[in-house]
Structure 1
């Protein structure tokens, strides 16, 4: 599932809101400097102007594309664009005042002060917000990107993606198709796979997306592309090395300075992502409240029969191989993992890919009586009623997992084929 980037002026709605707020603050301060009051709304002329300024700002951003590539602009480029934005809004203000014949009643000092304060405030806050986005918000949503290329251009490709992806991706590794270089480090990025074991690596490790950049003289890797798509991995193919795949979602986008054709099984819009996250938060909050209530009853029952933590933590493999910590109510004794080796001979699953017992003595309170009957304990009760799963709502609330998603696999789960 590919999260399609927001297109158009709504892509930077946060910067637009920030810009309007800066303009209002500048206007209020300018009014105070001229009239000695912060109560702009008390004066009908300035109150109308305040709302008009917000509309002017949005119109200028929309028609002049002022926020295009805002995250990619340097300090000088940002300053030039802010000056342009300030001049356009000032001209719109003058036009508004003359059109509605309010120029004589409106203070020219307020107009000048507003422009100067807005230029300074907007420029500083834009730079600070961009830095904040990269530093504090970029890491949480970074996607793991694997680069697939050839030896002649590998250095250029790595440098471009690392320095021009603007915090969207974490480069997990590189694969060189025409050379055995596994283990080599290029510009801080490790060659993690060769052509022979590339599919195996993508299947086993955390890889959200793959970027393929190969010269036109090289054959098109159609088989690789098909396997990646089957695994649910998003593929970015540098144009003009592309292919039309029936039944798959394809978009032309930018990755670094490259124009790429992005292919995935399906895609979701920003609106759909927000709606799903709202559902997860609502469900996560409800689940965490229920978990807290269950702790009052389940916690003491676990601790009395098996002293120790009432929660069990385990590393699981989630979407595209990304690992996270999963939490459950502990339903087994503290030495359950150590005793597993002793019980392997009783495993009902012969291939060893899963571990199932008719009677598991590791479950808290579970006993086998002399007559062969099995007495169930608190651990069985927790499992039978799936109460052990409720602490997972914490991960739903954190955004690590969702209410509706594929089952997370254990690290030792290998019971599937790449064929």
Structure 2
């Protein structure tokens, strides 16, 4: 492999501290006019670019049809078929698509991955409503109330559902190894190992790790099962030879001017450069990039930095919890009667749990165990099947007959809507821990107490009681660091499917 040569690099630059390491062959400078040779191998290009472009176009086309069609049909039904109603429908569609585009709802980095695209649709709907309000006030235009109170909410809901269905199809394709980005990971062995393991465990994000580059070429990395294709200085040539789509830089091997030169060289290819800064599970509005004094400074705001977001979540949780209690009142009465008639003891089970900032509260549940369940716990601890501070027993003899059904479908959790109304819990959040569990927490796990515990959470939709302790903590921390109402809506939506199927029931 003919790689990199430093002949065009000034002698004074060779003393710079971020000087690149030795290559596996002759070296061309990353900053030269020819930082790489023509591909030396016949690796087939991935299908990612074409597939993703098709996915973007299909999403945009579907949104255009729905965002214009739904308001138009609704206006026709409510106000009759006319050119005026058609005009309103087309205006709403154009305005909605424009606002969603402004909110990056069709960006390649957002679409198909994460909850950010759902947030973009919601914000697009809010901005559309704001635009119509300005039109009504500023131009004295009579905007049909049908649009504001029926058409826009319906468009937002339908678009989110359509995107969710499209994403599930995309994730199935990626799980089958299709529509994946050929990815080259660059950095030290420890940093590479963490990135490779994380991305391999979540193929829905579309990164197919096909090779790595390390500081010194020492052969395969033990236990990684990814070929070492060269050293850090070989990155550009390896990326071109292997027809990679993405280069991920992790660790501290490449920084400063070396990383800058690498970005220059990769700009001459079709390979994208991604930097993993090591800030685990922090993204979205909490992270902002500020160019200052020739530097790119990453600002990481506190998880609970904006009072308005906290108030909005509190209002949302209270409104949904109250509505849920009213709508589910008949079901709650049936469950209460079933618990009372099938076993001796009270209908509700009260247990002390730890909430936000370590404040204790009495959590409510429908009783699913015998009355003296707490007294029997000490005798059963020897058979504990959970790791960490949790307790789990597949065939727990303390659970009543009706309790098995209630726990499998999480119906025993419904009284916690009262805890939400009281302000002790949220609809979505980390699992509410017991005081004796909190005593065993390490520093990282204590960050779970930064927000209110939830009736459901990422742990609920990702395996529930089947998850090991460390994985459950990781999911809870991801929520704590990045919570938003749009994130909550996505989790609540997925919770419905988990509850109906009973997957991972306790």
| Bigger share in strand | 1
TM class by smaller structure: 0.3 to 0.5
TM-score by length of 2: 0.35
Q: TM-score normalized by structure 1?
A: 0.41
